Amino acid sequence: MADEYLLQLMSEKLAGIISPEDNRLLEESIRTNPATRQAWETYCARFSESDIREGFSRADAIAWQPLPLRSRTFRKTIIYITSAAAVAAGICFFILRPAPAAAPDTVTTGVRLVMADGRELHAETAPQVNGVKMDNTGLQVDEAAVTAPSAAMNTLYVPPGKSYRVTLPDSTTIWVNASSTLRFPSTFPGNSRKVELTGEAYFEVASDAQRPFMVESGGGEVTVLGTSFNIRAYDAGTGSVALISGGVKVRYGNREVILSPGREAAWSDSEDLAERDFRKEEVTGWKDGAYYFDDAPLTAIADVIRQWYGVEVRVTGEARFSGRLDRQLPLAAFLRQLEATGTFSHATLPNGTIQLTAR
């Protein structure tokens, strides 16, 4: 049984959409062929036990649009996948390879912190300076050990291909996404807590009714007391805030909105502050190692590639995509994963730019 066809069947089997005929064929190959059996075990290991046991219920929560998959070589048919099937089919061609520790091989520098006094720390060297403990697992600020001026701002740089956890002196935890910058003080003086973000981050803010927590990002400002939310603002004058729990006030220009859980506020230079619903998986999936898309335009895929892999992307034509993409894959595998859906083709230009062309 050819690898490509075999992996397609395993994807369908886990997603629960395999036909009886194909299921018999796959079961026979698993039973009689050691290589197939090893491939199947490796594939299953890529998913959590709860996902397999519950039939990828997390994906079922999203109303995926039908997604055409490319024609099979062995059977001249087109398979349409939807809901949980999108989860498995997205990575079905790469399960024989062990999951890489880091996604892109183009990134040479790691997470770094430029402290308020000019010193530069790197996560790889596991330093602990002036109340700041930093290593590959995250950064933690011990306010009691800080000797630098309290109002001075430190700057954390998270490169493409990385995400990083920060625990602030008030116990607020922030997961900073790739290609993002977070500015924060080593202590929070006075009656407020304030940080600045360029890029994307997920916040779990420690409750403190006497000291509101404020985030400046993309020209907007978010004020909270204790809550969890996601901010995305890679470009100046453009951003969004999605509230997971609690409550936040979002201000952009002269307008303010107060969000309730499940609501998102978005703004841009060409569009005023607006509210809308959102799906949690699409907004916060990056924190758990995957990107979820629901009828997303090709430009949204291009944005993810730029931010996560650190390469330039050019888009030609219009196409829409629904599915789950594993962000632990190297760039080449990530692109093949997308191309297998038949939505678009890709090419690498001489200058390293990725060209995405809608089909």
Answer yes or no: is 98 within a domain.
no
Are both 309 and 247 inside the same structural domain? no
Q: Which of 256, 282, 308 is the last residue of a domain?
A: 282
The answer to whether residue 137 scores a pLDDT higher than 70 is yes
> Where do runs of H (alpha helix) occur along 81-140?
84-89
pLDDT of residue 42: 66
Are both 15 and 163 inside the same structural domain? no
Are both 186 and 137 inside the same structural domain? yes
pLDDT of residue 327: 80
Are both 330 and 311 inside the same structural domain? yes
Instruction: Summarize pLDDT for 307-328 with one digit per residue, the tens.
Output: 999 999 999 998 888 877 778 7
pLDDT of residue 204: 96
Structural domain tally of the chain? 3
The answer to whether residue 329 scores a pLDDT higher than 70 is yes
Question: Does an H or E element contain 51, and which?
Answer: helix 49-53
Cα 334 to Cα 324: distance, rounded to the nearest angstrom: 11
Provide the domain limits for residue 26: 3-89
pLDDT of residue 325: 79
Predicted confidence band at 81 (pLDDT cuts at 50, 70, 90)?
Answer: very low
Are both 188 and 260 inside the same structural domain? yes
The answer to whether residue 104 scores a pLDDT higher than 50 is no
Are both 156 and 295 inside the same structural domain? no
Instruction: Summarize pLDDT for 15-53 with one digit per residue, the tens.
Output: 666 778 888 888 888 888 887 887 777 666 655 555 555
Mean pLDDT over each residue of the chain, to the nearest integer: 79
DSSP code, position 322 = E
- Please provide the DSSP assignment of 161-196 as one string: T--EEEE-TTS-EEEE-TTEEEEEESS--TT-EEEE
Answer yes or no: is 76 within a domain.
yes
In the chain, % of residues over pLDDT 70: 75
DSSP code, position 218 = T
Answer yes or no: is 107 within a domain.
no
**Which residue type is seen at 295?**
D
Instruction: Summarize pLDDT for 241-272 with one digit per residue, the tens.
Output: 999 999 999 999 889 999 999 999 999 987 88
More confidently predicted of 79 and 211 = 211
Instruction: Summarize pLDDT for 235-247 with one digit per residue, the tens.
Output: 888 999 999 999 9
Are both 227 and 166 inside the same structural domain? yes
Which SS3 state, helix, strand or coil, does residue 245 take?
Answer: strand
73 CB-contact burial (10 Å; exposed 0-12 / middle 13-18 / buried 19+):
exposed
